[in-house]
Structure 1
Amino acid sequence: HDIYRAPAHPYTKGLLDSIPRLDRKGQELYAIKGLPPNLLHIPPGCAFHPRCPRAQAVCRTDEPPLYRVSQDRASACHFWKETLHDDSLPSADA
């Protein structure tokens, strides 16, 4: 339930916002920009960085470790704290 209420990765937020919902009838669905990476040529750093609205220089060079979000949750995003608390990025409640 925590993932739906408070996603800690921009990709998760994008996926949740792209789900059709009855309370958004008639509204355009959110789409994550760009294309998934070629699995034979995954970019260095975070594999999501070319499509991420939060990407910064560190994302292009350093693969994020799994950061503990809670006792039973982790996020592979350098900016998981900012994502968790940022209402400006797409989210399931938008």
Structure 2
Amino acid sequence: MQVSTKSTSYRFDFLKYSKIWIGVSIAYLALGVIGYVVMGGFKYHIDFTGGAEIQVAFENQIDTATVRSIVAKAGWDQAVIQEVGNSKKEFLIKLGGALET
């Protein structure tokens, strides 16, 4: 039995293609700068403002004004009420500030 001493590794010449990869890098950088200018800069947002979201479902249909009056009587005058779907049975109630449990 003979042992082969041939090397099976492949050599890749990275420097041969260096100008192409530098060009690709500059193109991506230019694309990012153009996107920054077109979009008007960075958009800083506050994602977490506190408060609570409660989704409620009723057995019968009810209008948003009735839900708003019930929530206002509970002490949440600034609550945002949104209807979920078209059934007039489910609502999303967004309360400002933290809920105390």
What TM-score do you get using the length of structure 2 for normalisation? 0.21
Tell me which protein shows more strand as a share of its residues: 2
Asked which structure has the greater RCO (Cα within 8 Å, sep 6+), the reply is: 1
